[in-house]
Structures are given as C-alpha cells and as structure tokens.
Homo-oligomer: A and B are copies of this chain.
Amino acid sequence: MDSANQKNGGFAKLLDWINKLGKFKDEVVNIAKETKKIGKDDPRRIIHAAKVGLALTLVSLFYYFKPLYDGFGQAGMWAVLTVVVVFEFSVGGTLCKCINRGCATLLAGALGIGAEYLAELTGKTGEPIMLGFFVFILATGSTFARFFPYLKRRYDYGILIFILTFSLVTVSGYRVEEIIELAHQRLSTIIIGAATCMIVSLFICPVWAGQDLHILVASNMEKVASFLEGFGDEYFHLPQGEVDDANTSKEGKLFLQAYKSVLGSKASEETLANAAWWEPGHGSFRFRDPCNQYLKVGALTRQCAYHIETLVSGYTNSNKQAQTEFHKIIQEPYSKMSSEAGKLLLELSSAIKNMTHPSSIVENHLHNMKSAIDDLKSVLQTSNHSNNNNKSNLLDIIPILAVGSILIDIIHSVEKVSEAVHELSNLGHFKKMEKQKSTTTFAPEKIQQKLHKGIVQPVNDNADMDVDHVVIEIRDTSKEIIHQENNGDTNKKQGQQQVEV
C-alpha cells in the first residue's frame, strides 16, 4: 500500500510538474504573442529600442576606451546617464530633453558657482548654513515653478535638471576653481551624450511627433467617418434590438466601435503637439507645424465622437420594437445625412493625410449633407400633413426623431471640422491637387456653390455627375468606386424626390 501510495504520490507530483510546465509554456507563448502584437502594431517600436541600444553602446564604448576615460575621468558616466534619460520615442521629445538638459546644466552650474563663492565668504561655520539656505530656496522656488502650466509643458525637465545640478555643485564640497573644472567636464560629457542621442534620433529612421499628430488626427477623423458611413445600414437593415449584440459578436462590425478610442484621445494629441513644438522643419513639413490647428481639428472631431456616443446609447436604450411605418419614411434622409457626413469626413481626412487642399468633392458632400436635412424636413412635413391619422403615436417615434436631431448636430460639427481643415490646409501650405484643378476649370467651385444654394435645378444634376467622375479618378479602390457610384444614384433619386415635393 505504502509503495503504491508513494508511486501514486510520485505520479501525482510528476503530473503536477507537467501541468506547471504546461502553464509556464502557455505564459511564455502569451508573452511571445503580445510581444509580436506590440511590434506589429507599430514596427517603429522595435527600431526605437535598437536605436537606444545603439546610442548607449556608442557612448559606453567611447567612455570605456582608455584615452577618453583618462580625459574625462568619472564624469564620463554622465554621458551614459544622459543617453538613458534623454532618449525619447519621437525626435521632438528627444530634442526637448537634450536642449532642456544642456541649458539647465549651464545655468545651474553658473548659479551654483556664484552661490559657492558667496558661501565661502561667510567662513567655515557659516558656509554649510548658507549653502543649505540656498539649496532650500532654489529647490522650493523651482519645484513650485513646475506647477505653472506653460513651464510644465515646455521646460519641466529643464527645471528638474536645474535643481539637480545646482544642488550637486553647491554641495560638492570643492573649491570654486575645482568646481569650474568639474562643471566643464560635466558639460562636455553631457554634450557628448546629448549629441549622440540627437544624431541617432534624427538620422536613423526618425519618428516625428508632428507627423504622428498629423496621422492621429487624420485617423481619428477616419474612425468617426467609418462609423457614420456604416450607421445608416446598421440602423435600418437590422431590427433595432440586435444592433448592440451584433457589435460585440461580429468582427465585421468593429468599425462601429472604433470611434470610442477618439473619445479619450485628447491627452495623446496634446503630448504629441508639445513634442512637435521642438521639431525643426522636415520632409513635407517645411514650416513650423500648425500644431494648434491640428489640435483644433482634433477637438472638433472629438465633438462628433461625443455626439455619436449619445446616438449609440440612444438607439440601444430605445425600446426594441419592430420597425414602424415611420421608420421607413425617414430611412432615406437619415441614411443620406449620415453617409454624406461620413464621406465628407473621409474626404477631409484623406486631404490631411495627403497634405492636399480639400478637393471640390468636399463642397459637394457639404451640399448633399445640407440637402439631406432639407429632405428630412420636407418628408416630415408631408407625413405630418397628409397621413396624420396613419402615423403612429408620437411616443413611439421620439427615439427615432432624436436620432435625426443628433444626426443634425453631427452634421453641424462636421461642417466645423470642414472649416477647420480648410484653415489647416492654408496654414500648413498644403499643395493643391492637380486633378482637382482640371475639374475646377470645368465646373468652378463657386458657381457650383451658388447653384446649390437655390432650389434643385437640372444643372445641379450635371454638376453632381461631374464631381462623381472626379471621385472615381482620385480614389482607385474598386469598393470606393461602387460606394460613390451608389451614392451618385441616391443623389439623383433624392434630387427627383425633392423636385416632386
């Protein structure tokens, strides 16, 4: 029995051990998967890690080899320290820290020498008291200065290094001459470290914060746009109640969730804008990036996302009943409002991405958006007057009407986005598109606008067709063309309907 027990015990232990090994293997596999995902999401991360390794190895070896070591002595380690602390993901972040560190060290070193000199004058007993007093006053004042929003945004790291260097210099216990020698050494090693970082950061696959901001703003617009484009189909083709389940279960509906990440993007946009402030002109960004305008476009896009959030919770909260008669009446204007707003945003987003002036198609979508609102109004008016008796209870249609009202709000926000993007394209000196120019001579924007302002005329239909033609030229994915063509059809249908009204 005992031996059997022992055997069993041994067997159990073995099983346990295999089990643990399996779990450990799972853990390793999970980590490997996550590592792969993080690298795949943004391959620049792998390059960044290698860049840090390279800069650090360069500085380390530079410092390790005897001749240099003898030259700089222990101060050489400041070069290593500088590289580790200063190297950031973006060029702007790295430059910000390098410049802050250099200037702060210089300033604090000079002040520290002055303080040391003053303290020496007071004699042996007075010196530590004076030094302690200086350190306290400067550290307290500088720490408080870090709470000023403007200083925090630009010079937070500089102030930190200022306090650090000043304290180190004043309490080093050296005489003034020795300190000057030390300060010289420290400054030169910091410059070596900072220069290494700047060179590696600038010349090996640079990551520009300004460009990241540019891409972030454009992709946020795209996320909102893809929601708006898909919303009409989603809202009308599915029975109302299933929308929410569909979002979570089907992968294809993920685009309806993408806008959620826009809601909380304010902080990352501001961080990028702060880093971008330090970056020199580069690539297509010849002039200082109009960061503030990007932030404005970003904020307006976020406004759309807030409205979408309300839209979604409105229609998921609404009672899950079958589609009413009324549903069918407003389907067309709603779908048009939403999809036109989406297409407009997509157009604006691609204008930002390609750094071109928004094409005349934008004007067209703007017009379509507004005419969709008019369509809705006339549809409602008609339904109000003619089939008042047929019409379902006011109570049942409130959630549906609310969706319309929020769609109108979204359209107003999208209009503001459009204005801001136009301003951005001027401030950023975006290039004009050639293909657009050729269209412009054919059907000038302003004339088109004037035409659109009046009631629908036959000329309008032609203008619509011209613009649709341009779309097909510019965007070449077949899916897009189908989309746009379908849209062209609905436009015409809508136009006819409006004439009928």
Contact = CB atoms under 8 A, between A and B. Distances in A.
B377 A384 contact: no
A355 interface: no
Contact of A307 (B34, B313, B401): B313
Nearest to A48: B143
A167 interface: yes
B53 A137 contact: yes
A324 interface: no
Interface string A53-92: 1101100110111000100001001001100110000000
Interface string A383-424: 110001000011100110110111011001100000000000
Given A163-B56, A412-B313, A148 B401 contact: no
Given A163-B56, A401-B401, A402-B402, A384 B380 contact: no
Interface of A is mostly: helix
Interface string A156-177: 0000100110011011110000
B314 A409 contact: yes
Contact of A60 (B61, B64, B170, B266): B170
Contacts of A399: 405
A34 B137 CA distance: 20
A406 B395 contact: no
Contacts of A140: 49-50, 52-53
A10 interface: no
A135 B65 contact: no
A131 B60 contact: yes
A354 to B, nearest CB: 29
B77 A168 contact: yes
Nearest to A74: B74
Interface string A91-117: 000000000000000000000000000
Interface in A412-471: 412-413
Given A85-B160, A313-B307, A45 B264 contact: no
A144 B49 contact: yes
A481 interface: no
Contact of A264 (B171, B267, B406): B267
A404 to B, nearest CB: 7
A380 B393 CA distance: 9
Interface residues of A, number: 81
A399 B398 CA distance: 10
Given A135-B57, A139-B57, A310-B409, A398 B394 contact: no
A74 B398 CA distance: 76
A22 interface: no
Contacts of A141: 49
Contacts of A77: 168, 171-172
A69 B171 CA distance: 10
Interface string A329-353: 0000000000000000000000000
Given A49-B140, A50-B140, A402-B401, A56 B167 contact: yes
B401 A45 contact: no
B395 A381 contact: yes
A132 B85 contact: no
A46 interface: yes
A287 interface: no
A309 interface: yes
> What are the 7 tightest A-B residue pairs by CB atom distance, in nearest-first order?
A402-B405, A53-B140, A267-B267, A49-B144, A310-B310, A49-B143, A53-B139
Given A65-B128, A303-B313, 15 more contacts: A45-B147, A52-B139, A56-B139, A56-B167, A61-B131, A64-B173, A81-B164, A84-B167, A266-B267, A310-B406, A313-B413, A380-B394, A388-B388, A401-B401, A402-B402
11 contacts: A45-B144, A49-B140, A53-B140, A64-B173, A85-B164, A317-B408, A384-B393, A398-B401, A398-B405, A401-B402, A402-B404
